[in-house]
Amino acid sequence: MEKSTLTMAEQIALVVSAFEQQRTGHPPKSVNVVLGDETLVITLHGALTPAEKALARTPAGIAQLQEFHRQLFNNSSDILRREIERITGVKVREAAAEVETNTGTIVQVFTTGTVVQVYLLARGMSADAWSGSGTGG
């Protein structure tokens, strides 16, 4: 696909994947980008290296890994903010990142000061199921 035919979400996903590869030397397996009103949530699946997964086997290792990724994100997120602003045309006012060590998922949230709760489901859902009645089954 040519860049001009990509949606904003696809452009952001490509930028984030390349950014993660450059920043850590390890690309995520996949990147999801979701916009809800003023909140942009980027989820990097399979973003941890085998060494990081091994470190995450102990509570101390988990804490160390989470702090490492928070600091890494805080120290380098300005570049990503500028790219998001370039793609969307909207200024990013706030950003945070969290690591889910069991699955190797990193969630990056760009928001406007709201509280954001992110729930990673055990499996994907079809668009038809999501727009249904909401009763599980």
pLDDT digits (tens, 9 = 90+) for 6-58: 999 999 999 999 998 988 888 888 898 988 778 888 988 888 888 888 888 88
**Position of tokens 């696809």?**
10
- State how far Cα 3 lies from the chain centre: 21
With H, G, I as helix, E, B as strand and everything else as coil, classify residue 136.
coil
Amino acid occupying residue 102: N
Query: Which residues are bridge partners to 30 per DSSP?
Result: 45
Q: Tell me the per-residue pLDDT of 65-103, one tens digit each, with 9 for 90 and over.
A: 888 888 888 888 899 999 999 999 988 888 888 888 878
Cα(95)–Cα(81) distance, rounded to whole angstroms? 8
Query: Which residues are bridge partners to 41 per DSSP?
Result: 34, 109
Report domain 3-130's class.
alpha beta
β-pair type (105-111, 39-45) = antiparallel
